[in-house]
A and B are shown apart, each in its own frame.
Chain A
Amino acid sequence: MLQRLRENKSAQGTLLALPTTVWLFVLLIIPLILTLIVSFGRRSPDGNVIYTFTLDNYIRLFGYSTACPDAQASCYDPLYVNILGRSLSLAFNTTLFVITLAYPLAYFIARAHPKQRNIYLFMVLIPLWTNFVIRVYAWMMLLRKEGAINIIIGWVMNLLNIPFTPFEMLYTPGAVLVGMVYEFLPFMILPIYTSLEKIDVSLYEAAADLGANSIKTFLRVTLPLSMPGVVAGTILVFIPVMGTFIVSDILGGRQVILVGNLIQRQFLDARDPTFGSAASLILMVMTLIVTYFYTRKFGFGEEIVVG
């Protein structure tokens, strides 16, 4: 038996993949199916699920009330569509800002002396040692009306003799964006760094040798060769930003509600798991669609390796 396994490479592979497969099946596939079933159900008055087949939850998500007597136009309420749109645009903006901030830093680290690289990478990773929620709370301390940022600006303005009244930065879309960018920055820096660091120095020399100045070398050689890192980073940032609710909960308060918050509230506050399930699935489908088109355009970066 063991002898046969030793010779059978494909059986070895199956065996190695088995634990994860079971894990994923029990904890991903089954819950997903359950979510799908629940999303077609109806909430009972006491907050339980009545298993039936209705599209009400989805109809409600897209703004049409089932309680409306004759489907008038005035009955259309884009509340949830707006939440979905806000989540999507916040995820786009966060990813864009994160790339803009992460790329130059990753480039700098990749071109630094090998001894210093580790120190810089270490510094990038330090924030991750602190709990996610605590880091978001730290931003609360910074952005509050009585927070550090207002104090410092006030202090500088005072020196310059310009009148200044502290203003509220907390509970604004900007605060959520700042928090998101901060939280997810390392997940963009690391993959971009990895792909930049892999580029052989002789390629830069070859580009220069063939007549490219540093800007052209960057655009024609460095950037395309580091795209796998940008793609990987984008996937690592975009998907979690779409679903997370902690940042918007703490820094956005009731002002900035994202899909994540919506889902959380359906399950915990509103006690409507059927609507929450529908929202979860729509979130997943939206993320999949964006990721699909994105990776179809840019790939997963594998073409650099495989060709």
Chain B
Amino acid sequence: MTSEFAVEMRDVVKRFITPEGGEIAAVDHVTMQIKNGEFFSMLGSSGCGKTTSLRMVAGFEWTTEGEVYIEGKAMGHTPPFQRKVNTVFQNYALFQHLTVFQNLAFGLEMEGAKEDEIKKRVGHALEMVQLTGMDRRKPKHLSGGQQQRVALARALVKTPDVLLLDEPLGALDLKLRKEMQLELKALQQQLGITFIYVTHDQEEALTMSDRIAVMSNGKVKQMGTPVEIYERPTNKFVADFIGESNFLEGKIKFISKSEARVFVPSLNTELVGMPISEGLVKGEEIVVCIRPEKVRITEKNAINQNMFRGKVANTVYIGADTHVFVDLQGTRLKVWEQNRISRLDPKSFYAVGQEVWLMLMPENTLVLKKD
């Protein structure tokens, strides 16, 4: 391996001509550095530019501006068949006229591998995805999960430096998807090759990835480890898109090197000891963000600071958690309580209209710029 980065996208722009004759930037100045052996995910809703980015790495699309580097080499207009990356397609794109064995052998025959070698490598790849004995079947005769494995094996048998996966689990049912997530992750660690994984499923991205790029409107909104993305979103979009958040609009009253004091007009009060982030200045309009599971709810007022009285508007039982909706002077906050005790007794829930106290712990809140 010659480069520190398996794949690098430098200031990449991809514009498409719309049917109306206009131009649209599907990918808008994206820069990403994906390390060797990393499980890297591009996460976003449809149309955010994640698939287009992946296709530019694969070579199915060429960049309008900027450059894609694979193993440090600028790709330019290198066609897909000359790039040492392989793709697992969303719809699997298996060759229906070929058997499972022939599907896997296809890529090796293109390399000019000898028959013995092909047999050995295909057998090994099938073993890896637990499809041994299926080699003579046609893809049509396999289940969705098995077809998915064939697609995976067909790409892996080529021993690429980088494996590109475009929503590979999208067509599978939830249970199988979860199994495959863990299997894919294990396979990636075992093989040590770089995975670039495109998904719209945040749980999937959080489960598997070493790092995630959250994308929206062709731009990378934040790049980081799953913990960073969830615990320290750098902007309101990511805080809103990943998991759920409560947002309180406010204004910075005072800011020091370590903390800030924020006035929240809707609660007509100040939050003190708030963490600061880069670029915030006094007087700036901001949003305070706190995750529903990080809000503390009690029936009694214990501490005074950052503690607010509210009324329970509704409770929703969803199995592992109970979601409590609390009105604070017209602002509704979501609070998730884990059901650590049996909820069989209806009295174990907060009653609607009951007075409760919410505590926003400074270490659990974020002060973010308004988008």
Q: Which residues of A contact B (CB under 8 A)?
A: 200, 202-203, 205-213, 216, 220-221, 224-225, 303-304, 306-307
Contacts and interface: CB of A to CB of B under 8 A. Distances in A.
A209 B87 contact: yes
B162 to A, nearest CB: 12
Nearest to A213: B81
8 contacts: A205-B93, A210-B154, A212-B110, A213-B79, A225-B97, A304-B97, A307-B138, A307-B141
Contact of B91 (A200, A213, A307): A200
Contacts of B96: 225, 304, 307
Given A210-B110, A221-B95, A307-B141, A202 B81 contact: no
A211 B110 contact: yes
B95 A212 contact: no
B93 A216 contact: no
Nearest to A306: B140
B97 A206 contact: no
B173 interface: no
Contacts of B107: 210-211
B89 A205 contact: yes
B58 interface: yes
Interface of B: 58-60, 79-81, 85-87, 89-91, 93-97, 106-107, 110-111, 138, 140-141, 154-155, 158
B93 A203 contact: yes
Nearest to B139: A307
A224 B96 CA distance: 10
Given A208-B60, A225-B97, 4 more contacts: A203-B93, A208-B81, A211-B111, A212-B106
B360 to A, nearest CB: 49
Contacts of B110: 210-212, 216
B171 to A, nearest CB: 13
A209 B79 CA distance: 9
Contacts of A213: 79, 81
Contacts of B86: 209-210
A212 B110 CA distance: 6
A205 B91 CA distance: 12
B7 to A, nearest CB: 15
Contacts of A210: 81, 86, 106-107, 110, 154-155, 158
A207 B89 contact: no
Nearest to B104: A210
Q: Is the interface of A mostly helix, strand, loop or mixed?
A: helix
Given A202-B89, A307-B138, A209 B80 contact: yes
B89 A206 contact: yes
Q: Top 3 A-B pairs ranked by shortest CB distance?
A: A211-B110, A210-B107, A206-B93
Contacts of B154: 206, 210
Contacts of A224: 97
Contacts of A303: 97
B86 to A, nearest CB: 6
A129 to B, nearest CB: 31
Nearest to B97: A224
B87 A206 contact: yes
A205 B80 contact: yes
Q: Which of B79, B94, B110, B111 has the most CB of A within 10 A?
A: B110
A110 B96 CA distance: 19
A282 B338 CA distance: 85
A200 B97 contact: no
A217 to B, nearest CB: 9
A206 B95 contact: yes
Contacts of B80: 205, 208-209
Contacts of B79: 208, 213
A221 to B, nearest CB: 6
A216 B58 CA distance: 19
Contacts of B91: 200, 202
A208 B91 CA distance: 16
A205 B154 CA distance: 14
Nearest to A205: B60
Nearest to B137: A307
Nearest to B55: A205
Q: Which of A210, A212, A216 has the most CB of B within 10 A?
A: A210
A209 B81 contact: yes
Q: Which of A203, A206, A213, A220 has the most CB of B within 10 A?
A: A206
Contacts of B93: 200, 202-203, 205-206
Nearest to A210: B107
B111 to A, nearest CB: 6
A228 to B, nearest CB: 10
Contact of B95 (A203, A205, A211): A203
Contact of B106 (A200, A207, A304): A207
A194 to B, nearest CB: 16
Contacts of A306: 140
A223 to B, nearest CB: 10
A216 B106 CA distance: 10
B57 to A, nearest CB: 11
A216 B86 CA distance: 17
A221 B110 CA distance: 13
A224 to B, nearest CB: 5
B58 A209 contact: yes
Contacts of B158: 210-211
Contacts of A221: 95
Q: Which of B81, B140, B154 has the most CB of A within 10 A?
A: B81
A197 to B, nearest CB: 15
Contacts of B90: 202
Nearest to B164: A209
Contacts of A206: 87, 89, 93-95, 154
Contacts of A211: 81, 107, 110-111, 158
Contacts of A307: 96, 138, 140-141
A207 B138 CA distance: 17
A199 to B, nearest CB: 10
Nearest to A206: B93
A124 to B, nearest CB: 25
A251 B58 CA distance: 55
